[in-house]
Amino acid sequence: MAASSGTVAVAAPAAPVAGLQAQFAAAAKEFKVPESVLLAVSYQQTRWESHQGLPSTTGNYNVMGLTQVDLAAVAAAQAAAQPEVDLRGDGDAPAARRAAAPVPAPPADSPALHTLEAAAKLIGRPEAELRENTLQSIRGGAALLAEQQRGAKKPQSADPAAWYDAVVRFSNGGAPGQGSAEGQEFADRVFGTLKVGAVRTTSEGQRVTLTADPAAAAHSPAVDRGVARGVERQPGSRDTALAAAPAAAPAAPSIAAADPIECPATLGCDFRPAAYAKNSADVNDFGNYSIANRSGVDIDYIVIHDTEGGYAGSLATFQNPATLASAHYLLRSSDGHVTQMVANKDIAWHAGNKTFNMNSVGIEHEGYALSGAAWYSEQLYQSSATLTRYLADRFGVPLDREHIIGHDEVPGPIQSSVNGMHWDPGTFWDWNHYMDLVGGHVTPDQGYAVGGRITVNPPFSNAYRPTINNVASQPANFVYLYSSPGGPLIGNGTQNASDWSDKAVAGGSYVVAEIQGQWIAIWYNGRKAWFWNDGTMAAADNRPGQYALTPKAGLSSVAVYGRSYPEYNAYAAFHVPAPSPNIVALDYTLPAGQLYVPASTTPVAGAFYYAPTVDGSAPYDRSWVTGGVTYYPIRYNHRLAFVSADDVDLVPAKTDVLASGERVQLLAQTSSGPVNAGANFTRGAWEKYHAMPTVPGPADPNQSFGVLYMGSQLHAVTVANGHVYTADRNLYTGVWTPWYDLQVTGAAGPLSSPVTEVAVAATGTKMHVVVVSGGRLLEAAADYSAGRWYPWGDISGVLGLPSGALNRIAATASGNVMYINGVGTDGHVYIADADYNRGVWGFGDVTGAVGPLSGTITGLATVAVGSQQHVLALVDGKVKQATADYAAGRWNGWGDVSAVTGQTAPLSKLAVTFTGTNLRLFGVYNGQVVCANGDYALGRWSTWMDTQAPGAAGPIDPATTVAVAGA
């Protein structure tokens, strides 16, 4: 772009400026551009990423996203590109017609494609420096903004609101006659970012902050595009930007019913129809889509594409019926503008697979076939994510990567088409960022388990730059898959970007087949496929209720299909001819013993849409054919596929990630309700806190729990609002039952007084529930082997204790002996023990055996291990411990646990368990659940750790109570 107002006076280069934040400040000062505007423009171009000087798919470079596009090189690359497969996806288009389909035209030349050259001239630096050096890129961007401010005939004001027109011109290149519409959406997002601010650490470790300035946006002409301030993700996550897409569902479209545009109100959209016309006199020879009557129940997927052509050229291509291809939407790179080309009720020809065309919406993203292109513009991500979220909400598409997919994840419908399927959007589409914007990001969890589900989740940053043939080192969205740990790539795979056969892409979900150290094998393409994982390459999916598919018993393997057509007989019932071939398997199988992730746990009926003519003139034209055969869509390899529902069983995926080793389960009451989490101390893995079922009635902020392991079940008892309930968690599926009322006939039975405390212990297959009700100590028991409850018995009566004799109760068991501790009215700690082998009870004064405690006892916790019982007392918020050795017939006196663990602040609640050789304490401090470990083998204590810290169980609302079970 030639400067329209002369050149900018440039000061002599100063000493190098270190750090992006300082570079933005220096460039803003040098060129008299508001620093906040410069920061916001860069954020909306690149999120402050340099991309190591590599170009985007539309020729943007470095942190300011300045453009440099060689049109001759683009045209040459397009001419050499892979030809399109039959995007109609049913093989009906004549081969000669497909071969004659035009390719997208290169982008039309304009100043918007050469802003880097213009900026280099303005600051008098070589173009290479603006591509490769962040400071020179920022200086060039600042100079260009200043030039565009002059071009807009506006003063160089210190008020950011005065720079709106310059930002518009920055986006469209300020070309004469080009108008401002193309840049307005970009400028609106820039000022939306100014309004909410942003904080981000780039992939190169640069921390950059843009302070929110609501006034700037309010005083500018900017339209609110829905840029919302997001919550910064925890350290270790992929992206910590504060500017993100709305977490709530986007607003419904504000268009009248007659308006063909289907678009969220926050996006600037237009409708330019794709061609729907004959290519010859034959009514069967037409393009570029099928008229249909789809509703939300017919749309299961959103498919992401890139055009490998300019916006205008791609639009022209889709408006030529000879192309035999279309998409529902086309997005422009410079500002994220959305053009709808096909109504969502109709079937666009975009996926190369009729099943996916029938059941998806296709979104094309502008991208030239540039050599070395390594990233996509932020405007594409933001508009596309907003559009995708709108479509997902409207049609009920799940926000996961089995339903929001790339064109590269669509299977070949039949074997002959497999090799010709496309691989866009490619290895440099940042799925992590995109799904964050959509609202379906993966929560990192390292609790991997054989038979459990995981989601591939490599960091799209400089921390992970896999080798790719003929490509500069850069972040990528996949992990390589190997035939064995450290062995060759699976299936004679290569390190070519286009070779999808040996890659698992970010967001894809698989079932773990084996774990060897830092190597994980997944079931993939009918075999084990291994990838190296240091804990950052994949996230365990430990959500309750996850499933997998496996061949039915007795089958050695089952067929895998690329499409889900109905059986032959179904076509006759609808009076339409059946395609030939119809149901045909791919050259793949799903062998017995292997497990694959279903995209849906409800099988889908085989379906086919018959629409052979352009005018609907064939008998029964534009008819849906559905059959009796049903399929499960699955994540089979890099791509999705289908298996017959008659061939497979849907089984619970293993979500008991704590199945072996030293493990605990935590329950806590928080200000928003009860939560549960787990830890495996042997493996250093945590299960994240997650919500539990709520008890009937109003919330009780002081709801307390007792919890214990019994086999594959976690049994919990709770007191809420003076009433006792019980619930179980299946540790294989991770699913909790609802809370059941224990105070009913058939369970423990009714109680005459409210319950104030509860404790639990297990002897064999029995769970003993001990409560304080009306001041009395009562016990009921569930015998799980016999499937019955024993009703409440009066322990106080057996022991001869008056009402109110004990409170602050805790219980534990060893073998067939149960121990109950409590605090008496005299402040002493007492113990009652029941020997179920002999049928006798005992009662004693612990304080009399070990000595008094100085202070007020606010809580007790106890755990028995073999012949020893550990009693923990919370005294004025500090932890004291006494231990009984029943084999030796003695007690060890009170020890100060708080002193040896470095506890300085008081705890309000305390719980204890024992795993391996470790006494594990959990407490509540200032609303946080904390833990400390006493290792009896090593003779040492740890300090207190926050279970809510990143890498542990994660954040929760303030907690008031805690309970723990160990195994």
How do residues 109-127 score in pLDDT, each as one tens digit? 889 899 999 999 999 999 9
Contact 616/505 with Cβ under 8 angstroms? no
Buried b vs exposed e over 418-445: b needs ≥16 C-beta within 10 Å?
Answer: beebbbbbbbbbbbbbbbbbbbbbbbbb
Q: DSSP string of 218-279?
A: HTSS------EE-PPPPTTSS---SEE--SSPPPPP-S-TT------TTS-EEE-PPP-EES
At residue 268, the pLDDT reads 84
pLDDT at residue 93 tops 70: no
Q: How confident is the model at residue 90 (pLDDT cuts 50, 70, 90)?
A: confident
At residue 732, the pLDDT reads 60
Contact 433/202 with Cβ under 8 angstroms? no
At residue 657, the pLDDT reads 56
Average of per-residue pLDDT across 265-294: 94
Buried b vs exposed e over 521-542: b needs ≥16 C-beta within 10 Å?
Answer: bbbbbbbbbbbebeebbbbbbb
At residue 6, the pLDDT reads 40
d(CA 503, CA 477): 9
Average of per-residue pLDDT across 316-331: 95
Show the tokens assigned to 193: 């970012």
At residue 733, the pLDDT reads 59
At residue 660, the 3 state secondary structure works out as coil
pTM for the whole thing? 0.72
36-54 pLDDT per residue, tens: 999 999 999 999 999 989 9
pLDDT at residue 579 tops 70: yes
d(CA 48, CA 24): 10
Q: Which of 74-78, 306-310, 424-428 has the lowest mean pLDDT?
A: 74-78
Average of per-residue pLDDT across 58-81: 86
Contact 932/945 with Cβ under 8 angstroms? yes
Longest Cα–Cα distance in the chain: 105
Q: Which among 501, 460, 461, 509 has a CA at the least distance from the CA of 480?
A: 501
Q: How confident is the model at residue 544 (pLDDT cuts 50, 70, 90)?
A: low
791-840 pLDDT per residue, tens: 999 999 999 999 988 999 999 999 999 999 999 999 999 999 999 888 89
User: Strand 788-794's sheet: what is its strand order?
Assistant: 755-763, 766-773, 776-783, 788-794
**Mean pLDDT of all residues belonging to the chain:** 88
Q: How confident is the model at residue 535 (pLDDT cuts 50, 70, 90)?
A: confident
pLDDT at residue 239 tops 80: no
Q: How confident is the model at residue 177 (pLDDT cuts 50, 70, 90)?
A: very low
Place of tokens 């799940």: 398
Average of per-residue pLDDT across 293-304: 93
At residue 13, the pLDDT reads 42
Q: Which among 169, 181, 112, 128 has a CA at the least distance from the CA of 145?
A: 169
Backbone angles phi, psi at 450, to 5 degrees: -60, 130
Q: Which residues touch 751 (CB under 8 Å, ≥6 apart)?
A: 724, 743, 771, 773, 774, 778, 792
Backbone angles phi, psi at 546, to 5 degrees: -90, 145
Whether the bond between 264 and the residue before it is cis, its omega within 30 degrees of 0, is: no
Backbone angles phi, psi at 256, to 5 degrees: -70, 160
At residue 542, the 3 state secondary structure works out as coil
Contact 860/873 with Cβ under 8 angstroms? yes
d(CA 538, CA 952): 16
